Amino acid sequence: MDLLAYGKHFDEFKADKWLPYPLSKSHFDPEVAVRTYDEHLEAWQELERWGFDGVGLNEHHTTPHGMMVSPNMMAAAASQVTTKIKFVMLGNLLSIHNPLRLAEEIAMADCLSHGRVISGFARGLPREHGVYSIPMSESRARFEEAANIILRAWTEDTFSYEGRFHTYQDVAIWPRPYQQPYPPVWSLFTGSKETIQFAAAYNFTGIFPPITDGLTFDIVNYFAKQLAIHGRTITPEHLVLFTDAWVAENKATAIAEYSPYYLYFNQTLWHHGSVAQDGSDQSRPEGYISDSTHDYVRPENRAAAVIDRSKIRNITFADVQARVDRGRLPWGSPDDVADHLIRTADHAGAHSIVLNLNYGALPHEMFLEQIRRFGRDVLPKLQAHEVTRIPALEMQA
């Protein structure tokens, strides 16, 4: 996963751990933006050279935390300078856009890349709903309606649709996806049962962070039950983990190298527009999630299902060091990282892992060197390993 953060640190805001929102034009340097895009396209070519399967793209708005406002445009651009690497959309924000336009853009990117798109569907943050004047109370319904329209546009010869938010009459899109009937679709699980239910209904792949062992088991078990309702059996191919890693000579070196950027991301960048200056969390307004969204999670695991941005914003160097020492972060020697990631994938029963190797706007050469270290010393071990079982289902039995 590459969040594509603005390639210059806002040092003047680090002490307060808060970026003004909205962040005005006076802070934007077009030369930095051009360099940022160029460097990340170069990094993706380096990923391909070292045998990575794909690069994760994302969509965020009105923030230097992520300058990929259109993953479809980035995939189209990158498809012209690569030949093998896949583009994992994590994902297009269905709730805030015209779904027919998204269906067309994703199909176009799939054709331009000769079928290298993995389409991901997401809702987006409350901040982004506000920017596009989409009421949070409509977010879930808009997401599900948009997904239905996109799939119909991709698969039906001609379709008509009359919904709550969108109406189309006798539409046949051109181009169609290169992959038929359509690209694989991944859905980001943050814990809400409605997203898991919807993914199961359409047989999407679920991607989620391994926050705690207990929550992972609850998510996997619930996904399996929902798939079974639709006559499907969960397999490792249904499950993808999302985490980060850092390869160095040892854990101490990894902490010294990466923690300044990891802290900049977690303290300053990630919460832009989601945490107020006084530290209050603005990311869960009324209507964004239902009161029952976590009722499938066992009581002892429910706290882990709620992201506390205010707490994360206050993370310290000592906290990072403790996480690495306790095995919560896969940072360290090549063997440390490979063993940690394989163990985590086995525990979750996940077929694939999406990694972030660049939190906090790394210097370009540092990013490239991390890609080379991981590609040379860790990736072959991961690609040689096969996950064949899902332990959560065995514990349930």
Per domain, the residue ranges of the chain are 11-396
pTM for the model stands at: 0.95
State how far the Cα of 47 lies from the Cα of 39, in Å rounded to an integer.
12
Instruction: State the chain's maximal CA–CA distance in angstroms.
Output: 61
Paired strand residues for 247: 332
Nearest to 124 by CA among 69, 54, 166: 69
Residues 314-364: tens digit of each pLDDT: 999 999 999 999 999 999 999 999 999 999 999 999 999 999 999 989 999
State how far the Cα of 120 lies from the Cα of 184, in Å rounded to an integer.
8
Contact assessment for residue 264 and residue 360, using Cβ atoms and an 8 Å cutoff: yes
Q: How confident is the model at residue 283 (pLDDT cuts 50, 70, 90)?
A: low
Residues 225-238: tens digit of each pLDDT: 999 999 999 999 99
Gyration radius from the chain CA atoms: 20
Which CA distances in Å does 234 have to 5, 88, 324?
35, 21, 32
State how far the Cα of 218 lies from the Cα of 296, in Å rounded to an integer.
7
Per DSSP, the three-state class of 279 is: coil
In this structure, the number of other CB atoms found within 10 A of the CB of residue 344 comes to 18
Per-residue exposure over 266-282, b if at least 16 CB sit within 10 Å of its own CB, e if not? bbbbbbbbbbeeeeebb
CATH number of 11-396: 3.20.20.30
The answer to which of 5-14, 250-259, 264-273, 277-286 has the lowest mean pLDDT is: 277-286
